[in-house]
Structure 1
């Protein structure tokens, strides 16, 4: 008895050491992210120009709880930024450090989670369990697809939401050992962690279904007559999900970037969904050519071979997973969890200029890392396993460090984007970066190219006007601001910029009218 207790304690201690080592290695690999700046790609509008979140006073806390700033309800994430502000002021290194620390913690939590799952699914113990868990956690944490969520300050919401999401799963796995789930304090801890995850980013709404998947495999808590009980015990989680989903829908609509059915029809949305599911699988296997933006095509043809093939592959994998569910239950569990976690961002309810985004893979691709960990545990006794795993981890780390450098500043980011995934937005964004560095002619070249690719890109017209205004060319600037407003009459910044240009030209009445329009638009978006 004493020996078995000692072995259990020794096993837990070894597991904690491995998890800490994984977290430390992840932290070290992502340290170059601390050299990054606040980016015009949302960091400026979220953190630099916006002062409402800076502090922990009643007004700031009230704003965090009620704000739908830029289409998101993320009070817990805002709270974390406020703590950063009290410690670091507006030094971006501190904000990047927090992101890296949370990501390192997530790597450690994934390691602990995989240890538990391997023990439950296959009865794996000893060194094989530790090695499999470490391999899975490092495959998750050091994959280049994680860089966008970690190196981009705005995406604090990804890493923070995942932190509480993982805590909720670990607490749930502990709670199911009890005779009655909701008599265990672990269940309430899981529910609390889930609430914090939702308050960090609403994409966590999938957790109740993920828990049901775990009930089926590897926990084996679902039998022919047990589904009703398993569904009922998830009711508190489901209620939180429904509430968060309702708030998220209101928030997204307030942001003004939701694609209507007129913009994207049902067939186009299905095409985007199938494409993104396959795209993330492909980039997981071959993480090269990653970009901050994969722009949605202007005229998306759902009948094109690329989209048809993607939907066919999704259907084929789904059918195969169902047919093989008894022989390979892990395949159906991983595929179901992957699809469910992707659903909020897969494109059915589309918003934004992208067809896919690296950040959307942060949690959804975790099941594939877990399967890899299981594979490593099976073959760990083979002589070749250690060098193969070490080489794979080293390769991922090397690619990740290179991708982190891409996110250093706006010029490196958009220069890279034009190489990997050229788009009108990338041209316009690089133009802004060049203009801010005192290179207006190069900037105007990119604004012109952006409008050749997409003549209805209002931001390019507005940014072109700003570059001209800096040269004192107020009449030319005004023409571009007016062109931007013809494309988007509710473009507040273009109204304000046009007001400034008209004022410089002595047209004060027109300037006042546009200034009032800018103010009205901004007030309508303020929550």
Structure 2
């Protein structure tokens, strides 16, 4: 069987099912050693030592901050994170298995496997290729910068965010490819679950609003209703936050004016981290030098300008969907609102999905162009 025939087989429903199953199994096996790990860092105050969590009912979790019941919240009440879905998952784990770290780590592994499968499905919808979907999932599963989000129990915020928002992205793309508006029904529910898992999802409605332009298709009937619903949910979420924290946005104490150079440097730092993920740190301390242009500033500019320039060629325009995904998930963690450290590896996790989509779609289109050139030269 030729390579072309194998690729065609992998484009079938059975083919993509096999690929996604293999990816899920691989991801689970890859991270099985984490079952031996203990609770570390934030795990202890958030889960093990949090008496408020163990005594709560599920409904109460939606009425208080993420850090409620911890010494951290007593010291820093301005740490106004609202992540009830993540807290609810910790509560369920405690009820089902008690404070056994192996069980918590197992749930993280399962969530990471689901995220890997969904990344593959997103690329499948963009390129309709089992081979490229498999490569995207494999890159996501093995990326070194993802270890912290999976091996660190409290990294579940990013895992849940990734699962829900990837599912929403897949449903959105599926609705356009299949011309089936029923998939729209999933998007608001999944977006809300993602937003209640971690605040970073808040700009996702912008991607939805731009999707027809980015993938070069006409809006389906009911599409603009979907967009309005998503923005309404965002407004409702901010209002709920204002009731709980007396502020819609988690501004830290002593918040100062935005420094654009710092934001661009931090953005570029994450771009570099994706392409060179071997310089590991638990946290990257705030660096005053980032208030002046650094090498990371150049990385940001290269990314921000190179993809749109490539997209001037019609064959590369599909990469713009992953490009916008990357931007909307990096902006919230690029010190628009300084939260302490300059950066952290786990914060790259959701944005890396967009970066993988960019890399894979560009490579796929380049390979197609290369093969066509070879065929043309061969004919001549």
User: Secondary structure at the residue paired with 2:342?
Assistant: strand
Deviations 1:93-145 (A, max 9, x none): 100000011101111111122111102xxxxxxxxx22211111111121011
Deviations 1:316-373 (A, max 9, x none): 543444455431424544332211122222211122x200111111111212212333
User: Secondary structure at the residue paired with 1:281?
Assistant: helix
> 2:108 matched to 1:99?
yes
Aligned partner of 1:195 in structure 2 is 192
Aligned partner of 1:354 in structure 2 is 341
Distance in 2, Cα, partners of 1:211 & 1:310? 29
Contact 2:251 2:337 in 1 (8 A): no
> 2:16 matched to 1:24?
no
Label 1:114 to 1:89 Cα distance change in 2 as closer, same or farther (>3 A).
Answer: same
Structure (1 or 2) with the larger CA radius of gyration:
1
- What is the TM-score when the length of structure 1 is the normalising length? 0.60
Aligned partner of 2:254 in structure 1 is 260
Deviations 1:221-270 (A, max 9, x none): 36xxx9x9865541111111233345457659699981534xx4433xx2
> How many pairs align?
348
Label 1:174 to 1:291 Cα distance change in 2 as closer, same or farther (>3 A).
Answer: same
> 2:139 matched to 1:139?
yes
> 2:257 matched to 1:272?
no
Deviations 1:456-476 (A, max 9, x none): xxxxxxxxxxxxxxxxxxxxx
Label 1:348 to 1:147 Cα distance change in 2 as closer, same or farther (>3 A).
Answer: same
Aligned partner of 1:43 in structure 2 is 43
> 2:60 matched to 1:63?
yes
Contact 1:293 1:357 in 2 (8 A): yes
User: Secondary structure at the residue paired with 1:290?
Assistant: coil
Distance in 2, Cα, partners of 1:375 & 1:242? 35
Shift of 1:84: 1.3
Question: What are the ranges of 5 or more consecutive residues in structure 2 without an aligned counterpart?
Answer: 1-7, 68-79, 371-380
Label 1:31 to 1:348 Cα distance change in 2 as closer, same or farther (>3 A).
Answer: same
> 2:325 matched to 1:337?
yes
Superposed, 1:289-438 pairs within 5 Å as: 289-297=279-287, 300-301=288-289, 304-306=292-294, 309-311=295-297, 313-315=299-301, 317-327=303-313, 328-351=316-339, 353-375=340-362, 377=364, 379=367
Question: What are the ranges of 5 or more consecutive residues in structure 1 without an aligned counterpart?
Answer: 1-6, 120-128, 383-527
Distance in 1, Cα, partners of 2:152 & 2:246? 21
Deviations 1:53-81 (A, max 9, x none): 337xxx42132111113232222212221
Decide which of 275, 278, 282 is 1:288's aligned counterpart.
Answer: 278
Contact 2:318 2:361 in 1 (8 A): no
Aligned partner of 1:124 in structure 2 is none
Distance in 2, Cα, partners of 1:320 & 1:9? 31
Aligned partner of 1:397 in structure 2 is none
User: Secondary structure at the residue paired with 1:214?
Assistant: helix
User: Secondary structure at the residue paired with 1:27?
Assistant: helix
Contact 1:72 1:252 in 2 (8 A): no
Distance in 1, Cα, partners of 2:145 & 2:28? 16
Contact 1:208 1:237 in 2 (8 A): yes
Distance in 2, Cα, partners of 1:238 & 1:136? 30
User: Secondary structure at the residue paired with 2:53?
Assistant: coil
Contact 1:205 1:244 in 2 (8 A): no
Superposed, 1:73-88 pairs within 5 Å as: 73-88=82-97
Aligned partner of 2:70 in structure 1 is none
Label 1:233 to 1:257 Cα distance change in 2 as closer, same or farther (>3 A).
Answer: closer
Distance in 2, Cα, partners of 1:369 & 1:100? 20
